[in-house]
Structure 1
Amino acid sequence: MGKDKGVKRRHAGLADQLMQEDRVKPLKRAKPSQRKQEKNDSDFVEGKLSVRILDQARQQQDELEEEFGLCVSNKKKHRALLSGSSEADAAAISDDEDQDSTNEDDFYEHLEINEEDEKVLESFMPQEMTERKTLADAIMEKIRDKETELASHLSEISIVRGHSIDERVVHVYKGVGQILANYRSGKLPKAFKFIPSLANWEEVLHLTDPDKWTAASMYQGTRIFASNLNGKMAQRFYNLVLLPRIRDDIAEYKKLNPHLYMALKKALFKPAAFFKGILLPLCESGTCTLREAVIIGSVLSKTSIPVLHSAAALLKIAEMDYSGANSIFMRILLDKKYALPFRVVDAVVYHFLRFVGDSRTLPVLWHQCFLTFVQRYKLDISADQKEALLDVLKAHTHEKITPEIRREIVNSTSRSRKDDKVTMET
């Protein structure tokens, strides 16, 4: 049979194929420059940049961090871009960091104290409030003391008097203070980073007027001073500059600025200076509010602290006069479950034994701290101490917490006297 002419041939000619309506349209060829750009973009996205370019980028980033002290959010965003992330991913990283920096809200937004507890806590507050010293007051007091001390040595007076600073230096650091008063992010003046290396760093720091620094400036300043000052000098910076600013911010806004919260976390890189410059002065003042205690305590609970520093702080707080803030700090340190020396455990025991003859009604915070202590360290308490603590429970009771404390004390083994002798010999 012949071929059916009505059936379309399987392979049409080239001319017929070109005339068909469903022919494939030719693609536009990219220009060489465009192909090169697409290749570079794909390499960037896939992470196939040359080692030399990546090393150069990281080197530039490290130089920027060292020279200008870029803020944490910019640094993370820059790293995200270098690793191939999009702008949206970098922005998400920045948002996640801001959200993490403000997570202290979980600790104090639900803190509610009824009127009865407020009256009870007020009975433990000191009647005479001590005045808080600012950096300016401390510097002027120091200058006056030095001038009086060295009045017989006229040749050395010019070294310590504030007006002996070169006027050019005064002009420079007053300009630095104006920059810090408006700083949000980015580069910092190089002159600001030289302050920790100066012998009269407190007087020079006073020229920048720290009371007018922005919260971001305070964070950057804490980073610089915590890294470059020794323990005693960092302690003075924490006590005279950082602590007053934190207390003022909490008093005004009822919460802490995220930059100041990160500054507190950065200050804990020198734990001894943090405890001596912030925590212990705050407890000794007797004016620490519960909100301040919970916010600063949240920093302690989220940061790893060496056991010796925490044990020393717990020992000091246990020996102080009681206040509600002290109970919060003690409870947070006890909840870290350190292997505390017996001397510290004994100090906490005697802290609670002092209330046997106290006729005042104790707040719930005291009972909660008591319960935390016996839960964590019931095996480190001697039998005699447990009997004395049971007498405390007879004098001060709470309908829900006291039965739990008694159960923990009664149903636990006691520290042996042999352990006591070992600790006394060591």
Structure 2
Amino acid sequence: MGKISTKDSKDKIRHKPLYKDITETGTLSTGKRSKQSKNDDEDFDDEQVLDAAASRRILKLAREQQEEIESEENHIKVAEKPRFQMISPESDDSDADAAYEDMTDEGEDEYYDDDEVEEIDEEEAKLFDSYFKSGDNAFGSFNLADKIMAKLEETKQTKTEQTERPQDKVFLPPRVIEAYEKVGQSLHHWRNGKLPKLFKVLPSIKNWEDLIFVTNPEAWTPQVVYEATRLFVSNLTANKAERFVNLVLYPRIRQDIEESDEHKLNYHLYRSLKKSLYKPAAFFRGFLFPLIQEGCTTREAMIVGSVLTKCSVPVQHSSVALSWLLEQEFNPATTVFIRILVEKKYALPYQTIDDLVLYFMRFRVITDQNKNDIILDDATEIAEQRRLAQSPPMPLVWHKAFLAFAQRYKNDITEDQRDFLMEVVRQRGHREIGPEIRRELRAGSERSTTTAPKEDKEDDIMSFF
């Protein structure tokens, strides 16, 4: 095998030396400077001179462009000036005066060149007009007061539309109204089974009152009324449950009693009324109080009173309801509820017991002998007492309520109150019930004034409603 010649291979492998690459970058200097390095330095200096000249030319061009931009801006500012502008006497610039005269004599079209006028897009013009609307001012300035007055007028108009909007209509999406109308159609024939899911979610919806009227509650079956009462009373607060009882249950029960032949209440509606007592405040404020205020018949009072008799009601709510009933005008239906609440034998606070005593003392006949013993506020109350004295005998329900009070609270009244009540029995007594009331009052003991009252609470009892 022959030798390989290294001469040819060295010529082929030969490349640029490393020191040349280093010296070209300018980071390394050698002691001896060859001719080749001198030539390289001269080329490098030439390149530096060219770069400085180029930079000067660039700066010159930039300066010229800046001057052109400033001249264009000056032309635009002149164009924005109004055609008939007063020049202040303090201005002494003769060139400005000449420019103003040329502009007023020859016109804007002759003053500006066609090349310098730029066309404005329609969108930009609309945007400009939206911010700067021309009004009475000749300069077309922006009038902020007009915009504020227009906004106030708009809000006032929307408020008037809301107040004039009829309250008996439901403003809901069409799809929602259509869905709950179908639910209402199914509830008109529902007897048993599962209620529609759209109806079950009503208590969790904010505007449930609007949605429930879309289903037409007047046409619900009695079974639906009972299930709806369970659903709403158990899932809503006392204030919202009061709305349901007053808007749905109250008119339905009164209508059923009035339309029935024997003036009886449907069994399912009766159960609904009992279920509404799960929230006593909702029952009293949403059903009982409106019933008394709108004129309750004795038959309605007996039916509703039987619910109160069978159901347990907290003493706080019962005492407040009793105090409210005692302040109303005399009515046999009102007396029915008073007797029922008294017969429940609550440990009533002394405030409610004093209200009961004053209620029965209202029917005391005023004579010349006892006129000084009665403390009355004014002459109108005396006239009311005399009117009651001339009225026919008291109904039997009043005597029963008086007897129930004497039997239960004879030991919770003072001696003065006992004397006044004895006189009421003597004047207004019943031939059979009167002697029993007198015997109960005489058997009672005086209320102790040293002991604390039964309901020693910081809050007023009326705060429960």
TM > 0.5 fold call:
yes
- The verdict on how the C-alpha distance between 1:390 and 1:163 changes in structure 2, with shifts beyond 3 A counting, is closer
User: TM-score by structure 1 length?
Assistant: 0.61
- 2:381 equivalent to 1:385: no
Counterpart Cα distance in 1 of 2:277 and 2:322: 16
- 2:449 equivalent to 1:417: yes
- 2:281 equivalent to 1:272: yes
- 2:241 equivalent to 1:234: yes
Counterpart Cα distance in 2 of 1:219 and 1:283: 23
Deviations 1:252-300 (A, max 9, x none): 2211111001101111110111111111221222x21111111111111
User: TM-score by structure 2 length?
Assistant: 0.56
Aligned AA for 1:165? L
Assess if the C-alpha contact under 8 Å between 2:301 and 2:337 holds in 1. yes
- The verdict on how the C-alpha distance between 1:252 and 1:152 changes in structure 2, with shifts beyond 3 A counting, is closer
- The verdict on how the C-alpha distance between 1:194 and 1:415 changes in structure 2, with shifts beyond 3 A counting, is same
What does residue 330 of structure 1 align with? 338
- 2:180 equivalent to 1:173: yes
- The verdict on how the C-alpha distance between 1:412 and 1:173 changes in structure 2, with shifts beyond 3 A counting, is same
What does residue 122 of structure 1 align with? none
- The verdict on how the C-alpha distance between 1:153 and 1:250 changes in structure 2, with shifts beyond 3 A counting, is closer
Deviations 1:384-422 (A, max 9, x none): 111111121232121001111111111210112334789
Deviations 1:315-353 (A, max 9, x none): 111111111111111111111111110001111111111
SS in structure 2 of the partner of residue 326 of structure 1:
helix
- 2:226 equivalent to 1:194: no
Deviations 1:37-77 (A, max 9, x none): xxxxxxxxxxxxxxxxxxxxxxxxxxxxxxxxxxxxxxxxx
What does residue 60 of structure 1 align with? none
What does residue 224 of structure 1 align with? 231
Tell me which of the two structures has the higher relative contact order, counting C-alpha pairs closer than 8 angstroms and 6 or more residues apart: 1
- The verdict on how the C-alpha distance between 1:340 and 1:150 changes in structure 2, with shifts beyond 3 A counting, is farther
Aligned AA for 1:204? L
Displacement after TM superposition at 1:149 (Å): 10
- 2:334 equivalent to 1:312: no
Counterpart Cα distance in 2 of 1:378 and 1:364: 20
Aligned AA for 1:266? K
SS in structure 2 of the partner of residue 222 of structure 1:
helix
SS in structure 1 of the partner of residue 397 of structure 2:
helix
RMSD of Structure 2 on Structure 1 (CA): 2.6
Counterpart Cα distance in 2 of 1:388 and 1:367: 16
Matches within 5 A, 1:248-259: 248-253=255-260, 254-259=263-268
Q: Percent identity?
A: 46
In structure 2, runs of 5+ residues without a counterpart are 1-154, 365-384, 459-465
Assess if the C-alpha contact under 8 Å between 2:276 and 2:283 holds in 1. yes
SS in structure 1 of the partner of residue 194 of structure 2:
coil
In structure 1, runs of 5+ residues without a counterpart are 1-147
Assess if the C-alpha contact under 8 Å between 1:150 and 1:156 holds in 2. no
Aligned AA for 1:280? F
Deviations 1:149-181 (A, max 9, x none): 9943879999x9955311010001111111111
Higher CA-based Rg: 2
Aligned AA for 1:309? H
What does residue 246 of structure 1 align with? 253
Assess if the C-alpha contact under 8 Å between 2:348 and 2:455 holds in 1. no
Assess if the C-alpha contact under 8 Å between 2:191 and 2:224 holds in 1. yes
What does residue 131 of structure 2 align with? none
Deviations 1:7-61 (A, max 9, x none): xxxxxxxxxxxxxxxxxxxxxxxxxxxxxxxxxxxxxxxxxxxxxxxxxxxxxxx
- The verdict on how the C-alpha distance between 1:163 and 1:364 changes in structure 2, with shifts beyond 3 A counting, is closer
SS in structure 1 of the partner of residue 344 of structure 2:
coil
What does residue 406 of structure 1 align with? 438
What does residue 350 of structure 2 align with? 342
- The verdict on how the C-alpha distance between 1:214 and 1:419 changes in structure 2, with shifts beyond 3 A counting, is same
- 2:291 equivalent to 1:282: yes
Counterpart Cα distance in 2 of 1:363 and 1:288: 16
- 2:191 equivalent to 1:184: yes
What does residue 260 of structure 1 align with? 269
Assess if the C-alpha contact under 8 Å between 1:151 and 1:157 holds in 2. no
What does residue 359 of structure 2 align with? 351
Comparing 172-181 with 409-418, greater Cα deviation is found at 409-418
- The verdict on how the C-alpha distance between 1:249 and 1:421 changes in structure 2, with shifts beyond 3 A counting, is closer
Aligned AA for 2:203? P
Counterpart Cα distance in 1 of 2:265 and 2:398: 25
Counterpart Cα distance in 1 of 2:425 and 2:407: 15
Counterpart Cα distance in 1 of 2:168 and 2:331: 41
SS in structure 2 of the partner of residue 413 of structure 1:
coil
Assess if the C-alpha contact under 8 Å between 1:150 and 1:157 holds in 2. no
Assess if the C-alpha contact under 8 Å between 2:350 and 2:454 holds in 1. no
What does residue 394 of structure 1 align with? 426
- The verdict on how the C-alpha distance between 1:424 and 1:228 changes in structure 2, with shifts beyond 3 A counting, is closer
- The verdict on how the C-alpha distance between 1:149 and 1:363 changes in structure 2, with shifts beyond 3 A counting, is farther
Deviations 1:88-128 (A, max 9, x none): xxxxxxxxxxxxxxxxxxxxxxxxxxxxxxxxxxxxxxxxx
SS in structure 2 of the partner of residue 379 of structure 1:
coil
Aligned length: 277
Displacement after TM superposition at 1:204 (Å): 0.9
